[in-house]
Structure 1
Amino acid sequence: MDKRKSALLAIILLLLTSFFVFDLGQYLNLASLKAQQAALNAQVLANPWLSGGLFFALYVLVTALSLPGAALMTLVGGALFGLLGGTLLASFASTLGATLAMLSSRLLLRDWVQSKFSQRLAGINQGIEREGGSYLFALRLVPVFPFFLINLAMGLTKLPARTFWWISQLGMLPGTLVFVNAGRELGQLDSLAGILSPGLIGAFVLLGLLPIISRKLLELVKARKVYAGWQKPKRFDRNLLVIGAGSGGLVSAYIAAAVKAKVTLIEKHKMGGDCLNTGCVPSKALLRSAKLANELKKAEQLGFKPITGEVDFAAVMQRVQRVVADIEPHDSIERYTQLGVEVLEGEAKITSPWTVEVNGQSLSARSIVIATGARPLVPKIPGIELVAPLTSDNVWDLREQPKRLLVLGGGPIGCELAQAFQRLGSAVTQVEMTERLLIREDQEASEAVMASLRADGVELRLQHKAVRFEVVEGQRQLICLNLVDNREVVLPFDQVLLALGRVANVKGFGAEELGLEVRNNGTLETNEFLATRFPNIFAVGDVTGPFQFTHTSAHQAWYAAVNGLFGGFKRFKVDYRVIPWATFTDPEVARVGLNEQDAKDQGIAYEVSRFGIDELDRAIADEAAHGYVKVLTVPGKDRILGVTIVGEHAGELIAEYVAAMKHGYGLNKVLGTIHIYPTMAEANKYVAGEWKRAHAPASALRWLARFHQWRLGGAEGAGSTQLIASDKVV
């Protein structure tokens, strides 16, 4: 530590020690100052400049040392110097003290903190550099955190001291004014009867309303800044306008119509979005056919002679389309029109924060919800244009089954489709860069799925990186790099399916022209209320993330619709605490909350309770005795941190734990719930029983054993009585 730091630290420690040793805090309370009010008032009248200077210096010292009493000092300023004088003294003293505290923190701690936590602070530093002033102003204006913590925390950043000074001066002024006014009223209080005076009541009402007023003022300031240059319509055609009729858009429109708002829904392609037309629905229909094909192979296990079935691939794919058609009415224009939604077919273009153009018509709305979804990622692999790759968008157009199918990607979509096509008769090779499939799941879950895929005949090429596509003498092939031994491998195929993730649709509807910000991962940036940089423009679903699930889009839609319609009165922060998901392979993998690898990465302590489904009666009867239920809990408690289920119907079984985590009950309540016998759901109760057994009170059980032995009577019982008595003596 250099001399400057040593000297500063010594001065701070000396002053803090003096404060506590001499119990100076006793003078920084309302009762003590009220008792001295007459003498203090006389001193101010006799020597106003000296009194003001001493008050200023004391206030600076208190705030610079982060001592308790700054709020009281502000009240005293109002009582002694009046509204104008007290505000001037307290405002400038508090800002000077806060700046000194910030600089002290910066000199003593910043280098050490930045070096020790450089990676964790990288994002914070970028944010402070980009909009640190706005962030500080918001904290000063709406005092969510104690001001002394803000001073110390800002010292650890690279925010310029000059910026800290003037923003603190401006941001703390409204609060200082309100506190000084309250102090002025308190200073005029001569008896308890004065507590009911209109002035004092008004002062405390202002104190209570300060956070609300400050928040509204901050919102107005931000709104004026973000809407600068845009002409707001004097009247609106509708309350809400939704772009995109996928899950997020449909639910947003539905909610608006349900509360009798005037809402318009615009879709340029197909109602129902990806989930209905190219995602969840068609893939599950395909998986059902593939499951039957696999069940036929198990006929002998169920008491049948061998059964053979020939797959009619074109009929299978035709059935997929029939399933989509059967569900289409649920998401149709007719249904939503009957619900009260105006549905327009066409390409939307946002032309201002309140207007959208479609089919040459300009529509205005108080709020806009963007639900434009995402599309499959098509990487720029050399030669990809030669092989006409399939994606989850166009694979459903197939009517001729590919004999050799190459699947790129080891996520949920890649695993589901690889297994389905393999079971329907294609020879599938699946290529993944990492060392295992389903990298977000625990190793154990990943290995269960990989074992099943291999048992079905899928050739897994793990730790292989696609390098280029080639067509040699009419033969399509992928050249990939084996990342283990660094050699090239040739994989021939007839069709290639890309399952490498999805890219948010953030272009083509006016987002660029409005300057809506896009995150590094390509999704539209929104805040905790799902609003973009414009408070009346929201985004939901795959276009903003962070989860690309249909049910998450619907979950977000409620917040966007309600905030868009009623945000002027009350806004709701989107809740991501309990988000479940499932991969519908065989076995299914369902998950909610933390798994083990997440808990380890985040340094969260946990206990594991596990029940093997191979012990479950119903699973044995159904020839489905494989998989497990794994529950993570807080050490020593039954509070659930996360659950992973691997096995048949895992997606259904997880719902009980989603409810438990959402509503805050633990494994004791799950154990105490009656589950029908014999069902797969009993696995949830049995894993709770495993937790209970592991946390049984051993000492109490030993005493109970002795008690029951004593109740048997006889000589043996008498001996036990003596044993209990001797235990008591011990």
Structure 2
Amino acid sequence: MFLNTLTRRKVYARWTRPGKFDRNLIVIGAGAAGLVSAYIAAATKAKVTLIEAHKMGGDCLNYGCVPSKALIKSAKLAHHIRHADHYGLQGTTPTFSFARVMERVHGVIADIAPHDSVERYADLGVEVLQGYARLIDPWTVEVAFPDGSTQRLTTRSIIIATGAAPFVPPLPGIDDVGYLTSDTLWDKLRDRTEAPKRLVVLGGGPIGTELAQAFARLGSQVTQIEMAPRLMIREDAEVSALVQAALERDGVAVLTGYKALACGVTDGAKWIEVEHQGQTRRIAFDDLIAAVGRSPRLKGFGLEELGIPVNRVVETNDYLETLYPNILAAGDVAGPYQFTHTASHQAWFATVNALFGSFKRFKADYRVIPWATFSDPEVARVGLSEAEAVAQNIPHEVTRYGIDDLDRAIADGSAEGFVKVLTVPGKDRILGVTLVGAHAGDLIAEFVLAMKHGLGLSKILGTIHIYPTLAEANKYAAGEWRRAHVNPALLAIAERYHRWRRG
């Protein structure tokens, strides 16, 4: 305790602390982490100011989760119309205006926007300022407003929740071809009557995979380029193979193990040059989406001037505190995950530690973090994958249930995928779950709950699941584990008992 106090004093030594403070908390950024932080602060009656330079709701509402899922829904419906014969109906080529699809996407954003609006948060007791925030010292934030005016505010604590932005690879010529990102495509493609005719998606992670499949289903000729040997490299190889096969059925040309070298325009025609196994080729396209990852927003907030260490993200300790304990970070800017739900999760720890840390601090808990990729079929995971368990030499057993055997999936025409559960050898304690199939992102929740609260597969097996539902896949996976762990000696005794009872 004494050493911590001494260290803190040294950190603050060159700054003059204000005699009093305007606020208890200032939150910089109104994305998921910032909104939740401001909400919690207001709910505990703290005086809190939320500063946002652009749009309330951040990336998830305006550029990421919401618009992409709206697009995926329209694309899935087009897919079902095209393949209606799979359901005993007349399959036909869907006719639609792409501009109407994009109009619906923006309509969905508008319908959800009130949840994250200035008005809602003002009603909750949050002061919301639209402007650019910059740290002046550990307790002072300067806000630059659009009209050119500035205001300085003092506060006991600050939470940095500035999010992330798409990373654009430094390919020669990429600026010349007018690339799109997951942030810009929603406005730049908004008024087109047709989807891009020839589309290159650069990147084979979740964002690139979702967009490649959606645009292919909406009529684009899509080429997806990934430098890694397979799509979705963080998942097990069998997951990558299943997803790639699904994309290829939808017409996506998936190029894995291909390195992008350069982009250019020749006689008005755009192209990208790629290299694979020593051979180069050029791929013509009309539009290109750069979806190779996202980089935290770290510049322009005064972090450098205060000497707050930043590497790939803002460096924080287990309590989400930066070099200055009263300045914390949450969400994409803090890492280690870039998920909206993780940002919200971190926001609780950051806010409680910021406001009440002098009494008790809480370490951010990353033990059970789920995520999903909303391809078709969906991919969801929580905990260890099989490849991770092997790489880390963690003893484990693998239990698998094929969704192709599930009654509801067969009835729905979605009998594809599997549930794979990793457990401690000889025990039903869950180490990780990978779920591939329709609504995997929803079905994983039961396993998340079980892992969070230490419930094993026996508890899932003993829970009544409605028939016929997709959720039964979780129960049947637990049943597969149970069958593999029946005691043969007890079965032999039971068999002799029943023989004796027959006389």
Q: Pick the TM interval, shorter chain.
A: over 0.9
Structure 2 distance, partners of 1:407, 1:308, is 24
The Cα shift of 1:288 comes to 0.3
Letter in 1 for 2:415: A
Once the two structures are superposed, residues 695-726 of structure 1 have per-residue CA deviations (whole angstroms, 9 ceiling, x without a partner) of: 0011101110110110111xxxxxxxxxxxxx
Say yes or no: does 1:642 pair with 2:448. no
With normalisation by structure 1, the TM-score equals 0.67
State the partner residue of 2:333. Answer: 543
Letter in 2 for 1:487: Q
State the partner residue of 1:264. Answer: 49
The Cα shift of 1:465 comes to 0.6
Q: What are the within-5 Å matches in structure 2 for residues 249-398 of structure 1?
A: 249-359=34-144, 360-397=150-187, 398=189
Structure with greater strand share of residues: 2
Once the two structures are superposed, residues 123-143 of structure 1 have per-residue CA deviations (whole angstroms, 9 ceiling, x without a partner) of: xxxxxxxxxxxxxxxxxxxxx
Gaps of 5+ in 2: 145-149
Say yes or no: does 1:219 pair with 2:4. yes
The Cα shift of 1:379 comes to 1.4
Q: Secondary structure at the match of 2:181?
A: coil
Q: What are the within-5 Å matches in structure 2 for residues 505-584 of structure 1?
A: 505-519=297-311, 522-584=312-374
The Cα shift of 1:303 comes to 1.8
State the partner residue of 1:462. Answer: 256
Q: Secondary structure at the match of 1:706?
A: helix
State the partner residue of 1:615. Answer: 405
Q: Secondary structure at the match of 1:591?
A: strand
State the partner residue of 2:490. Answer: 700
Structure 1 distance, partners of 2:186, 2:100, is 12
Structure 2 distance, partners of 1:426, 1:594, is 36
Structure 2 distance, partners of 1:261, 1:567, is 14
Q: What are the within-5 Å matches in structure 2 for residues 385-464 of structure 1?
A: 385-397=175-187, 398=189, 399-400=191-192, 401-464=195-258
Structure 2 distance, partners of 1:384, 1:357, is 36
Structure 2 distance, partners of 1:343, 1:226, is 30
Moved more, 578-587 or 298-307: 298-307
Say yes or no: does 1:490 pair with 2:490. no
Once the two structures are superposed, residues 575-600 of structure 1 have per-residue CA deviations (whole angstroms, 9 ceiling, x without a partner) of: 00000000000010000000111001
Structure showing greater relative contact order (alpha-carbon pairs closer than 8 Å, 6 or more residues apart): 2
Alignment check: 8 A CA contact 1:427 1:458 kept: yes
State the partner residue of 1:98. Answer: none
Letter in 1 for 2:306: L
State the partner residue of 1:686. Answer: 476
Alignment check: 8 A CA contact 1:372 1:505 kept: yes
Alignment check: 8 A CA contact 2:82 2:94 kept: no
How many pairs are equivalent? 494
Identity %: 63
Q: Secondary structure at the match of 2:55?
A: coil
Structure 1 distance, partners of 2:283, 2:92, is 33
Task: Mark the structure with the bigger radius of gyration.
Answer: 1
Q: Secondary structure at the match of 2:104?
A: helix
Q: Secondary structure at the match of 2:428?
A: coil
Structure with greater helix share of residues: 1
Structure 1 distance, partners of 2:93, 2:317, is 56
Gaps of 5+ in 1: 1-214, 714-730
Structure 1 distance, partners of 2:417, 2:86, is 19
Alignment check: 8 A CA contact 2:429 2:457 kept: yes
Moved more, 304-313 or 562-571: 304-313
The Cα shift of 1:311 comes to 2.7
Q: Which runs of 4+ in 1 moved over 4 A?
A: none
Once the two structures are superposed, residues 342-385 of structure 1 have per-residue CA deviations (whole angstroms, 9 ceiling, x without a partner) of: 10000001101001011311101110000000100011111111
Alignment check: 8 A CA contact 1:369 1:561 kept: yes
Q: Secondary structure at the match of 2:27?
A: strand
Match of 1:472 among 251, 263, 266: 266
Alignment check: 8 A CA contact 1:506 1:524 kept: yes
Q: Secondary structure at the match of 2:232?
A: coil
State the partner residue of 1:194. Answer: none
Structure 2 distance, partners of 1:311, 1:459, is 24
State the partner residue of 1:9. Answer: none
The Cα shift of 1:306 comes to 2.6
Q: Secondary structure at the match of 2:284?
A: strand
Letter in 1 for 2:29: G
The Cα shift of 1:307 comes to 3.1
Structure 1 distance, partners of 2:96, 2:164, is 32
Letter in 2 for 1:681: A
Once the two structures are superposed, residues 12-33 of structure 1 have per-residue CA deviations (whole angstroms, 9 ceiling, x without a partner) of: xxxxxxxxxxxxxxxxxxxxxx
Alignment check: 8 A CA contact 1:254 1:341 kept: yes
Match of 1:502 among 294, 297, 319: 294
Q: Secondary structure at the match of 2:328?
A: strand
Q: Secondary structure at the match of 1:547?
A: coil
Structure 2 distance, partners of 1:563, 1:309, is 53
Structure 1 distance, partners of 2:111, 2:225, is 34
Letter in 2 for 1:433: M
Q: What are the within-5 Å matches in structure 2 for residues 115-134 of structure 1?
A: none
Letter in 2 for 1:376: P
The Cα shift of 1:487 comes to 1.0
State the partner residue of 2:454. Answer: 664
Q: Secondary structure at the match of 2:71?
A: helix
Structure 1 distance, partners of 2:494, 2:108, is 60
Q: What are the within-5 Å matches in structure 2 for residues 189-204 of structure 1?
A: none
Match of 2:385 among 591, 595, 606: 595
Alignment check: 8 A CA contact 1:437 1:450 kept: yes
Alignment check: 8 A CA contact 2:35 2:57 kept: yes
The Cα shift of 1:631 comes to 0.2
Structure 2 distance, partners of 1:686, 1:705, is 25
State the partner residue of 2:147. Answer: none
Structure 2 distance, partners of 1:239, 1:609, is 50
Structure 2 distance, partners of 1:469, 1:337, is 47
Alignment check: 8 A CA contact 1:311 1:425 kept: no
Letter in 2 for 1:478: I
The Cα shift of 1:644 comes to 0.2
